[in-house]
Amino acid sequence: MTRWLWLAWVAVVAALTGKILVWHVEYFKSPGPQFYKIALGFVPVLALSVFLYAWLRRKAVWRFEPLAFATLASAASLFYEPRAFLVSLALFFAAYALGAWAGDALRLNLSGPLNRILIRCGFGFGLLIPLCFVLGEFRLLYPGVILTILLILAALGMRGALRDLLALHEIWKSAGEVRHPIAGVAVAFGFVAMICTLMTALSPPINFDTLQMHLPSVEHYVETRSIAPFPEIEYSYYPQGGETLWTAAYALAGGPGTQVESAMFFVLFLLVVFRLARECASGRAAALAGTIWAATLPFLHWTGSVMKNDMIMTFFQGLALLAFLKWLRERGFSWILAGAFFLAQSFGVKYVALFGAIPLAIFFAFAVWKQPRRWNATLAVIAVFLCFGTFWTVRTYVLTGNPVYPEVADRVVNGAIGAHHYSAAFKLLRYVTLPWKIIFDGGRVFESPLPNPSGIILFAFFPLLFFASPKWRNPGILTCVAFVLIYCGYWAAMLGTLRYAIVPFAIAAMLLAQGAARFYDSASSRPIRLSIVAVEVYCLLIAALGTMIIEVNGPQFNYFAGRLDRPGYLRAALRTYASLEDLKRVVRPGESILGIDNCSRAYAPEPLRYQCLLCAPDGCDAKAVDDGLKKFDPRYLIVPEQNAPPEAVIELHRRPWTRIHHDPFFSVYHAD
């Protein structure tokens, strides 16, 4: 790309995305005019600060950046949630120790501290899942049992893990290339992103899925000392690999333990992205920038900062891809067995691992074909996958007769077939329009108010992808590109939800950063170089604003300042909380509650006896509400104050109800 073409493209990007920046700034009017005034001053100050930091860090500051990241994260976690931090640290050391044994058993060549940390933690966490599952089958998931196992393993793994972490720091201090301006800008925004993650992970959860499914399930597992499914939450019949790891953290540190553990998996996944970039011939500066670009994609950052199992799944799937790249370089079949294990564990977390499993299965089949004893290799890979990736499905089949319960098998098969029966024109139109929807109309592909949940950095730097092309003869790059194309080809045809395409978006970010760094280095003109850095600042600024919109709220500042306690924060930040908190004073054991448009089950008096009906944005379904009232015959009824479903209002007149709670968002009625 010539400099004039690049400058023309910059003008196009500015014209198409200028209104996006305006939207993000204008959004801060919604929480109050004071926030809008802060945003008006914050945006230029942040942009100028980033430019200044990227220039100042080049002499000496860059050497201490990893230490600064680790110190800030550790200090904040120890101050606000010390037990959660220590439990997550123990889990990390324990996984490292358990994974070291597995890696040695497979005789893997784990050269380099980052390789050892990632592969050993992947094996370790992957083995902790079936270990806790077996303990649960005998109802032995006592906090004391979990603590004993973790302490023994952590004691064995602590020394090696700390040695590798210190080695990483020494490698960083000698890697002068990370002084690159593109890396400097990324690091500056990385600090902003980390602060947002800490604010989300260290404050009480308000995410819908966490409160509706994940946290109540984990609480039940701890209470029953088992990972057995239960009919009150049908989600518990799905694979529970993520919930199993959360159960260990919850048993020792409560809800905060699960949140800090989730953030830890976010960090581990980003390290996998960095390692993938290095396998794809990226320099350290480009790999660092690409990793942070991926981390700051708003949808990806939110998914990694809250208690969601998507990041655990993508951690294992990223490791499976990394294992194949290791095989490409070393040709050691043990790497394919390791990849099969990681792929199996991704299925043990979430069935949407299927999207990544398709290209990975092709890669592993190629590796098996290259083995001198193909049939033996095939049987070994299949055995590893079946052993570690199907026991959740077998359990569900034994209990229900349906391996994919609560899904209906016929609907799963027919739905998949039906998706492929669309006309060729429809499919082509979907593939052509989906990128535009993701970039400029993303409200349909991610559950947030953001019109651009994937940010604009992938769009802005897309032309520079071809500057990475001279290295595309590298087998790693070719493999990653093939992975993205196959993954996205199937994902776009079936779902299109951004959370289910984290790995390919992260790979795209790392490849684009490689192209941007190479274009910057090849440009002899200072204005061109400045324009590249300016576009990066502009894109990451929009991403930072988007992340703040969906993760940061006003009450968090009062909570961390000590002006609000946990209930006070939840009353201020979560509109569903006050009604549930008031119910705890009056509900007796065994009494049922039906919440309409209030699904924060984790904060209900008896979460497993709490039922909720979620209304669509355009209103509640009349039949669903009527059926719910008849089916559950609730003793207590929660009705939204705005757009209350008429069936609920009619029911209030049909039976003698007494309103026992009222707030601006919900009223609670008691059946007399």
H helices of 280-309, in order, are 284-296, 298-305
569 occurs within a structural domain: no
Assess whether 494 and 545 both reside in one domain: yes
Residue 666, SS3?
Answer: strand
Indicate if the pLDDT at residue 373 is higher than 70: yes
Q: Which of 344-348, 364-368, 468-472 has the lowest mean pLDDT?
A: 468-472
Give the whole-angstrom CA distance, residue 334 versus residue 367: 11
Average pLDDT, the chain: 92
Query: How crowded is residue 19: how many other Cβ atoms within 10 Å of its Cβ?
Result: 12
Q: Which of 521, 555, 589 is the last residue of a domain?
A: 555
Structural domain harbouring 642: 575-671
Assess whether 185 and 108 both reside in one domain: yes
Tell me how many degrees the CA angle 296-298-303 measures, rounded to the nearest 5. Answer: 100
Assess whether 376 and 407 both reside in one domain: yes
Assess whether 347 and 212 both reside in one domain: yes
CA atoms within 13 A on the CB side of 585: 7
Indicate if the pLDDT at residue 87 is higher than 90: yes
Indicate if the pLDDT at residue 326 is higher than 70: yes
Amino acid residing at 168: L
Is residue 671 within 8 A of residue 632, CB to CB? The reply is no
Assess whether 391 and 262 both reside in one domain: yes
539 occurs within a structural domain: yes
Q: Which of 497, 523, 555 is the last residue of a domain?
A: 555
- Give the pLDDT of residue 621: 72
Assess whether 404 and 543 both reside in one domain: yes
Is residue 600 within 8 A of residue 211, CB to CB? The reply is yes
635 occurs within a structural domain: yes
Give the whole-angstrom CA distance, residue 239 versus residue 60: 48
302 occurs within a structural domain: yes
pLDDT bin (cut points 50, 70, 90) of residue 655 is: confident
Indicate if the pLDDT at residue 628 is higher than 70: yes
The pLDDT tens digits of the residues spanning 267-322 come to 999 999 999 999 998 999 999 999 999 999 999 999 999 999 999 999 999 999 99
Residue 654 CB burial class (10 angstroms; 0-12, 13-18, ≥19) = exposed
Indicate if the pLDDT at residue 470 is higher than 70: no
Instruction: Provide the Cα torsion 33, 38, 39, 40; round to 10°.
Output: 90
403 occurs within a structural domain: yes
- Give the pLDDT of residue 410: 47
Percent of the chain with pLDDT over 90: 82
- Give the pLDDT of residue 440: 84
The pLDDT tens digits of the residues spanning 101-128 come to 999 999 999 999 999 999 999 999 999 9
Q: Which of 81-95, 275-289, 454-468 has the lowest mean pLDDT?
A: 454-468
Indicate if the pLDDT at residue 417 is higher than 70: no
Assess whether 523 and 580 both reside in one domain: no
Assess whether 525 and 607 both reside in one domain: no
Assess whether 509 and 590 both reside in one domain: no
Give the whole-angstrom CA distance, residue 179 versus residue 189: 15
How many domains, the chain?
2
Q: Which of 67-76, 475-484, 568-577, 653-662 has the lowest mean pLDDT?
A: 653-662
Indicate if the pLDDT at residue 96 is higher than 70: yes
pTM of the entire predicted model? 0.95
179 occurs within a structural domain: yes
Assess whether 210 and 320 both reside in one domain: yes
Assess whether 469 and 590 both reside in one domain: no
Is residue 358 within 8 A of residue 504, CB to CB? The reply is no
Indicate if the pLDDT at residue 573 is higher than 90: yes
Look at 237 and 469; give whichever has higher pLDDT: 237
Is residue 461 within 8 A of residue 515, CB to CB? The reply is yes
Quote the crossing angle between the two packed helices 310-330 and 241-279, to the nearest 10°.
40
654 occurs within a structural domain: yes
Assess whether 393 and 314 both reside in one domain: yes
For every residue of 366-431, which 3-state class applies, written as one string?
HHHHCCCCHHHHHHHHHHHHHHHHCHHHHHHHHHHCCCCCCCCHHHHHHHHHHHHCCCHHHHHHHH
Indicate if the pLDDT at residue 419 is higher than 60: no
Give the whole-angstrom CA distance, residue 446 versus residue 499: 7
Give the pair of three-digit tokens for residue 266.
């976010």
- Give the pLDDT of residue 600: 97
468 occurs within a structural domain: yes
Pick from 204, 200, 175: nearest CA to 603: 204
- Give the pLDDT of residue 572: 96
